[in-house]
Amino acid sequence: QEIRKVVQALEQTAREMLTLLQGVHQGPGFQHIPKKCQKAREHFSTVRTQMESLKTKFPADQYYRFHEHWRFVLQRLVFLAAFVVYLESETLVTREAVAEILGIEADRERGFHLDIEDYLSGVLTLASELARLAVNSVTAGDYSRPLRISAFINELDSGFRLLNLKNDSLRKRYDGLKYDVKKIEEVVYDLSIRGLNKEATVGVGGEK
């Protein structure tokens, strides 16, 4: 019961952050990315407080006994942290960095930690969100972003191909990554057909 209460609070914080970050998909949302990321970072301080509370609700050596209670919300929080870091720097957040953002450990031996499969699930959710962002970028007239997203997702896909995924739910999630790659490739191809990718490439070069 005590664990459930804290998990519900974490779920509420995660919902608020998701609502906030969904704003980047709207037309003028791209201009407000830094502000939205900053606000999301403030929410993560609430998450860290809630995590501290969760750690006190069960014996440290019984993490996996109660893992199912917070597994889903933890994966959602990993995705949100990964999305914020991507929007800020267009890089993939490491498991260690996510653990730090959430106020938990990366190392299993040190107590309440970020399980590797929870981290990978969160990253796969990020891929779906970026596929959606690629489509909405074109609508907003930002033609260089889909090219950068495409390069990022292809690299991510290559990384996942190296893994021997035994977990069934994680395997199913990984199968979804293939569709995300295809969806983004279609966006890039469409830009190419319309001659907009040349304009985008010039824009990318100019930014550098």
Binding residue numbers for Mg(2+): 129
Binding residue numbers: 129
Burial 162-171 (b: 16+ CB within 10 A, else e): eeebeeeebe
3-state secondary structure of 105: strand
Is the Cβ–Cβ distance between 67 and 8 less than 8 Å? Answer: no
The identity of residue 28, as a single letter, is P
**Mutual angle of helices 196-207 and 145-161, in 10-degree steps:** 90
Instruction: Measure the CA dihedral 178/19/95/113, to 10°.
Output: -120
Nearest CA among 88, 75, 185 for reference residue 126: 75
Alpha helix (H) ranges present in the chain?
Answer: 2-22, 33-55, 63-89, 95-102, 116-139, 145-161, 168-193, 196-207
Q: CA-CA distance, 164 to 116, in Å (whole number)?
A: 13
Q: CA-CA distance, 141 to 207, in Å (whole number)?
A: 16
